[in-house]
Structure 1
Amino acid sequence: MELSGKGGGSRERAALGLTFVLRHGRRTGLASAARLLQLFDVKIHHIETRPARMPQNPAEDLEFFVKCEVLDCKVSSLISSLKKVAEDVEGNREGKAPWFPTKIRDLDRCHHLVTKYNPDLDCEHPGYTDPEYRKRRAFIADLAFNFRHGDPLPRVEYTPQEIATWREVYEKLSSLYPTHACKQYLDAFHELEKYCGYQADSIPQLHEVSAFLSERTGFTLRPAAGLLSARDFLAGFAFRVFQSTQYIRHSSSPMHSPEPDCCHELLGHVPMLADKEFALFSQDIGLASLGASDLDIEKLSAVSMHLILLGRYRTNERTNKAYGAGLLSSYGELMYALSNKPEYKPFDPDVMVIQPYQDQNFQQIYFVAEHFEEAKSQFQKYAMKIKKPFPLHYDPFTCTVEVLDSPQKIKKITSHVKEELKSFEKLS
């Protein structure tokens, strides 16, 4: 390693990911920060821009992401200096654990979207040629972009056409549930119809559904603007938060949507999140994602697709029942997946990670667990293989995640667990 001639500082270069917001950035570009980056001899590898999440001037403000290299000894000074000309500055060294939320309010930052199915960009989207639909969808998405933890969940006044689409989906799917859905789903769905206003003629509001889930499993909802990145979506699960879209699929394609919508969320995900065992399982998946590398997130996302979206298990009667949200919110795929037409393989996360997920078509292969407990056990074994520089502990009382990066912290948590076990032993 080389040393500088004057200060004796390290000449080792650090790989860095910078994000920051420039007011009026759409007009000025990177100019206001470029001189600073040049001053610190920053080598830029990649730049991305997107609209700022909390803009003062919506037409002008931009968020920048810069992948770069800089002298290791200058990282702190660079970030401090950048804060003088930009806002919301963050810097993450590559090779270390990526940033992850440690408080439930940090989910305000977990809103990165995958835009490949956006009706403004995807010419195959059913709403691509419908400007009114795109305008309506953007309006509802903005409710999510502007939401912050602690705000009341936004209410959407759905139009007659939107309710008609919901009605068609609801009636078709609910006719299949008694024969195709698992017992946990059916029990929760009946409760939702009885206590949460689930019916064909109205679309449930997020605040009502969130209150229902909170009482049963501790899960709550927050609005999402679209298809979230796998990292951000799974991070919500760690805090027992489900990030739910509120817009509905295009009326021309009620039986299929290329992206998540309120039919997928409310009919696919919510009933299973009302089951205590599945809720705990979902949180385990979320906690496994925190601090994981990009490669591990990619693998974990693949496993989660086959678990959360396409999950099925065999009952004592040796019949397959669905618990996956993708199946339970898609009439065609639910029929197909349980028709014995596709290939079925034993539940195995190591095989799931290399099995491609079909976005636009039904799956060629479905993985079937012998029972739900097997799926949980297999996943827990897989999650233990994910390498992280530290263990994590979730505190349900404060809804925070603690990084156990010292022997003292680990000893403290272990002591608390032992005390709880002693309390249970006294009762037995």
Structure 2
Amino acid sequence: MVDLDTFADKVLEMGEELDADHPGAKDAAYRARRSEITKIAKTYKTGQPIPHIEYTQIEIDTWSTVFNKLITMFPSHACREHQYVFPLLVQNCGYGPSTIPQLDGVSKFLKDCTGFTLRPVMGLLTSRDFLNGLAFRVFHSTQYIRHHSKPLYTPEPDVCHELLGHVPLFANPDFADFSQEIGLASLGASDDDIERLATIYWFTVEFGICRQDDNLRAYGAGLLSSFGELEYCLSGKPEMRPFEPSKVAQQKYPITEYQPVYFIAESFKDAQMRVREFANSMERPFSVRYNAYTESIEILDSKEKVLRYAQSIKSDMLTLVDALEKLA
């Protein structure tokens, strides 16, 4: 059995240097602020309240610009699950144009909705570490914000991307299950399979399109947090393909420009089953399951563990049959 603390101790920390082409690379004040926030994230331990960040007025103004731009597009471009949850975040988590929500309150909201929690992180993780976190229903989130000179552009995830793009969907049970499925598939996977799963994650959780009521809607956080690409992805210009994980996993993609190809999921449950089928085709030394009661991963590598798992499934099936008979 692997618990969250054991996993968290292995998370890779990123350095605090910015790429030369980052909008804030030559801004000493911005770099110092980034360093301050990432050091706060470094002190976090599982089970503690997520540290509160006192955002500056410049940071709030940047958030406000992004927030006000995106909310004009959500009604026509975002999937129904995102549209349903967003007002709840306004009501319960302080979402609005004049305040940057705190991760601690948002994490508690998600925990109540789907069992997902947020964990502050210094920056980008390896694909393996990031995907492994999803298996525990943990999403690693930044707390710093993009540079104020380009509020509608960021070369990396920031708090706008996390809170406006990712968080609303993690409050939806079907999407949460789908995301965790990718994480579970990553446990014990080879480096090559991790790369394939990361590509599937890219074209779904980050840049996914779904079909709803004969219309296409965005559900990927990279789209829902980018005014320009959110408009572009449903403009009819890019190529649309059906979501087939074995094909998606081989698709090359650009990082610094709009995607030329998007993949359409028929539903989050359908996407989850397709990812599970893909994971079953991978060569892994064991199977795993998530125990929601202990919030840990059980490695099914012995006959005794498999039999115990089968007994729990049998008990759940009896409960299901009884419920169905009472509804008949």
Same fold per TM (> 0.5)? yes
**In the alignment, which residue of structure 1 is the partner of 2:312?**
416
**In the alignment, which residue of structure 2 is the partner of 1:136?**
33
C-alpha separation in 2, matches of 1:371 and 1:394:
22
SS in 2 for 1:366: strand
Q: CA RMSD in A?
A: 1.4
How far did 1:107 drift? Answer: 3.3
1:385 aligns with 2:281: yes
How far did 1:233 drift? Answer: 1.0
Contact 2:206 2:222 in 1 (8 A): yes
C-alpha separation in 2, matches of 1:380 and 1:405:
18
1:354-393 deviation per Cα after TM superposition (whole angstroms, max 9, x unaligned): 2222111001111112344432232222121122111112
Given residue 363 of structure 1, which amino acid in structure 2 is its aligned partner? Answer: Q
How far did 1:121 drift? Answer: 4.1
What pairs up with 1:2-81 in 2 under 5 angstroms? Answer: none
**In the alignment, which residue of structure 2 is the partner of 1:166?**
63
In structure 2, relative to structure 1, the CA distance for the partners of 1:373 and 1:424 (3 Å cut) is: closer
Aligned match for 2:11, one of 111, 114, 120? 111
C-alpha separation in 1, matches of 2:216 and 2:181:
24
What pairs up with 1:82-101 in 2 under 5 angstroms? Answer: none
**In the alignment, which residue of structure 1 is the partner of 2:108?**
211
How far did 1:114 drift? Answer: 5.9
State the TM-score, normalizing by the size of structure 1: 0.73
**In the alignment, which residue of structure 2 is the partner of 1:323?**
219
C-alpha separation in 1, matches of 2:186 and 2:109:
26
1:312 aligns with 2:209: yes
**In the alignment, which residue of structure 2 is the partner of 1:302?**
199
Contact 1:328 1:334 in 2 (8 A): yes
**In the alignment, which residue of structure 2 is the partner of 1:61?**
none
Given residue 412 of structure 1, which amino acid in structure 2 is its aligned partner? Answer: R
Equivalenced residue count is: 324
**In the alignment, which residue of structure 2 is the partner of 1:188?**
85
What pairs up with 1:137-156 in 2 under 5 angstroms? Answer: 137-156=34-53
SS in 2 for 1:287: helix
Contact 1:168 1:254 in 2 (8 A): yes
SS in 2 for 1:299: helix
Name the structure where strand makes up a greater proportion of residues: 1
C-alpha separation in 2, matches of 1:262 and 1:400:
27
1:122-149 deviation per Cα after TM superposition (whole angstroms, max 9, x unaligned): 1111111011111110111111112111
1:35-84 deviation per Cα after TM superposition (whole angstroms, max 9, x unaligned): xxxxxxxxxxxxxxxxxxxxxxxxxxxxxxxxxxxxxxxxxxxxxxxxxx
Aligned match for 2:257, one of 356, 361, 367? 361
Contact 2:14 2:122 in 1 (8 A): no
**In the alignment, which residue of structure 2 is the partner of 1:267?**
164
SS in 1 for 2:162: helix
> Using CA pairs below 8 Å that are at least 6 residues apart, which structure has the higher relative contact order?
2
Aligned match for 2:19, one of 104, 119, 122? 122
**In the alignment, which residue of structure 2 is the partner of 1:404?**
300
**In the alignment, which residue of structure 1 is the partner of 2:2?**
102
C-alpha separation in 2, matches of 1:199 and 1:363:
29
In structure 2, relative to structure 1, the CA distance for the partners of 1:421 and 1:374 (3 Å cut) is: closer
How far did 1:110 drift? Answer: 4.0
Identify unmatched segments of 5+ residues in structure 1: 1-100
In structure 2, relative to structure 1, the CA distance for the partners of 1:427 and 1:189 (3 Å cut) is: same
Aligned match for 1:277, one of 161, 174, 182? 174
Q: Between Structure 1 and Structure 2, whose CA radius of gyration is higher?
A: 1
Aligned match for 1:233, one of 130, 155, 161? 130
C-alpha separation in 1, matches of 2:104 and 2:266:
36
- Range that drifts further, 319-328 or 374-383: 374-383
**In the alignment, which residue of structure 2 is the partner of 1:245?**
142
Contact 1:111 1:224 in 2 (8 A): no
Identify unmatched segments of 5+ residues in structure 2: none
Aligned match for 1:351, one of 243, 247, 268? 247
C-alpha separation in 2, matches of 1:312 and 1:378:
15
- Range that drifts further, 372-381 or 137-146: 372-381
In structure 2, relative to structure 1, the CA distance for the partners of 1:303 and 1:286 (3 Å cut) is: same
Identical pairs, percent:
45
**In the alignment, which residue of structure 2 is the partner of 1:89?**
none
C-alpha separation in 2, matches of 1:246 and 1:215:
21
How far did 1:297 drift? Answer: 0.4
Aligned match for 1:223, one of 93, 101, 120? 120
SS in 1 for 2:50: coil
**In the alignment, which residue of structure 1 is the partner of 2:229?**
333
SS in 2 for 1:175: coil
In structure 2, relative to structure 1, the CA distance for the partners of 1:110 and 1:182 (3 Å cut) is: farther
In structure 2, relative to structure 1, the CA distance for the partners of 1:300 and 1:307 (3 Å cut) is: same
